[in-house]
Chain A
Amino acid sequence: MTLAANSETSFSPSTAPRAPSRKPRRSAATSTLGISLATLGSLIALWFLAAHFEWASPLFLPSPTEVLTQLGAVWADGYANGTLLDHTLASLGRIAAALGVGIGLGVPLGLLMGLNRWVKGIFSVPIDLYWGLPPLAYLPLLIIWLGIGETSKIVLLSLSTFAPICFAAQAGVRSVPDERINAALSLGASRLQLFTSIILPSALPEIMTGLKIAIGAGLSTLVAAELIAAQSGLGYMIMSAANFLATDVVFVGLIVIAILAFAFTCGMRWLEHRLIPWKGKL
């Protein structure tokens, strides 16, 4: 069994008992969990069979045991100037920095764009324009401007996480029901109180949705950028391995990325549960 299967099982008990007030939902979740686990098991079994009977050449499709052995080797001895942990931390560091910039700039600017006609008018056109571009199309330009080092990659990633967060914050402000604002005003709220006690919390569900989209966009841009121009990171490790037809290491890289993506999804779900348990109600 691979790590993916383990994380699936450790994930289930943390979600199942946490929603005691919604019985129908929970029973639906537990009933699909068994099916999902069975599907995962079947896929791995199929992989075993395919590798065992050599339906494809071992050069193209390594067996699960080989991948697992290679995982241990890459973990301990490293591959392409670094251990697996080094590459993972390099990738995570980049995405964390990009998310920090995306949230730090995207949330305030998005909120302002939702509140003020002028701010919206000024910023929406440039953001709309660059957001339509595939990030890899302007990566070469960023490299010319900022060099091949970390700066260009973090700027690229920040650009890809900034836009969805900014749009979401803006949509969040506009989704606040007028009646909720009127109610607060007739209770004597000042402009600042209206913002902190009504608009910001009302916009939070949209902002969280934007954050989820930003993580997805950031992760795919990250790996793509590392494939093209990097000396560390999971994308770089996969690319180096592919150059030497080390398919088992490619698989190791893919599995780690899949686990990271899954962990992000679970983390966001947990965060939503903590921050906005009221989402969609009332």
Chain B
Amino acid sequence: MLRIRDASVTFPGSNGQDVHALDHVSLDIAPDSIVVAVGASGCGKSTLLNAIAGFLPLSEGSITLDGREIVAPGGDRGVVFQKDTLLPWANVLDNVGLGLKYRGMGRGERHEHSRRLLELVGLADFAEKPPYELSGGMRQRVGIARALATDPKVLLMDEPFGALDSLTRETMQQLLASIWAKTRKQILFITHSIEEALTLGTTIVVMSPRPGRIVARFDAGFIREFAESGDIGPIQSDPRFIELREEIRSLIHRPEGARTRTPHRTGTLQ
């Protein structure tokens, strides 16, 4: 269980005023759940992820993973970045096995394990290729396989499909749904696409900027259906999907003055 309590991150701003990138955010990510944070840019969703990953220190509050406080990056939290961070000098197989190498796993075992993960993401035939010969979508698959290889407790995904074209994006969403169904990892997924949030999240948190905080949270279960059918069409035309989508959209586009007075709202479906 990942537990975030009153987490705040404050940067010194350029005009002397502090920027509250994250303002007293509390959130639990239970095992077996995908929490998707959605919001306009600057709403603190990436700050939240970076704090959980240990890249950014909290100004206030605490984040604990299975009771242990997070103070630095570590192998128990796998991260998939928006821009792929694969090593160009290593082939796909060695990129996937990087975290295993850090743990001192021997070459043979590492390769065997990495090959299994490449199969999971559908790239078994590309093991020997250098990453720069792969397309953007394929590179993100390698990134996901690499993050999963060390079997982290939590998977943190920072707009991982944001830079992909819409067709590739759909394929990647399918892949993630099927991986989640197989591995049941707890995942925090950041996106600015409301559709993506609803398709993938078991919990969706809507965030708003200045100060970055959670304004609403919804439970949804479209991913279970999606993981089974692999078909995004019927899900996105489901009336409940459309209703939630419009509600989240109106929350995100609400003028700033009105937003701060909105009490936390919790909606539940299914």
Contact = CB atoms under 8 A, between A and B. Distances in A.
B74 A278 contact: no
Contact of A179 (B83, B103, B146): B83
A234 B235 CA distance: 79
A278 B132 CA distance: 8
A282 B88 contact: yes
A193 B156 CA distance: 22
Contacts of B79: 182-183, 186
A186 B74 contact: yes
Given A182-B73, A281-B132, A282-B132, A189 B102 contact: yes
A193 B101 CA distance: 9
A281 to B, nearest CB: 4
Contacts of B101: 197
Contact of A186 (B78, B87, B88, B133): B78
B55 interface: yes
Interface in A46-83: none
Interface residues on A, range: 20 to 34
Contacts of B84: 282
B86 interface: yes
Interface string A243-282: 0000000000000000000000000000000001010011
Given A278-B130, A282-B131, A186 B75 contact: yes
B85 A179 contact: yes
A193 B88 CA distance: 17
Nearest to B50: A182
Contacts of B75: 186-188
A282 B95 CA distance: 14
Contacts of A281: 88, 130, 132
B24 interface: no
Contact of B53 (A180, A186, A190, A197): A186
Contact of B85 (A183, A197, A201, A278): A183
B54 interface: yes
A187 B40 CA distance: 29
Contacts of B98: 184, 187, 197
A177 B130 contact: no
A228 interface: no
Given A183-B79, A186-B73, A186-B74, A198 B102 contact: no
Contacts of B85: 177, 179-180, 182-183
Contacts of A276: 89
A186 B155 CA distance: 11
A197 B147 CA distance: 17
B82 to A, nearest CB: 9
Contacts of B132: 278, 281-282
A278 B102 contact: no
Given A186-B78, A187-B98, A282 B86 contact: yes
A186 to B, nearest CB: 4
B99 A187 contact: yes
B29 to A, nearest CB: 16
Contacts of B73: 182, 185-186
Contacts of A185: 54-55, 72-74
Q: Which of A187, A198, A201 has most B Cβ within 10 Å?
A: A187
Nearest to B80: A183
Contacts of B89: 201, 276, 278
Interface in A172-221: 177, 179-180, 182-190, 193, 197-198, 201
B55 A193 contact: no
Contacts of B150: 187-188
A279 to B, nearest CB: 8
Contact of A187 (B54, B55, B88, B102): B102
Interface of A: 21, 177, 179-180, 182-190, 193, 197-198, 201, 276, 278, 281-282
**Ordered nearest first, which 9 A-B pairs have the shortest CB separation?**
A188-B75, A187-B99, A278-B88, A185-B73, A281-B132, A183-B85, A282-B88, A186-B79, A186-B73
6 contacts: A177-B85, A182-B73, A183-B81, A186-B53, A188-B74, A197-B102
Given A187-B98, A278-B132, 8 more contacts: A183-B85, A185-B54, A185-B73, A186-B54, A187-B150, A188-B74, A201-B89, A276-B89
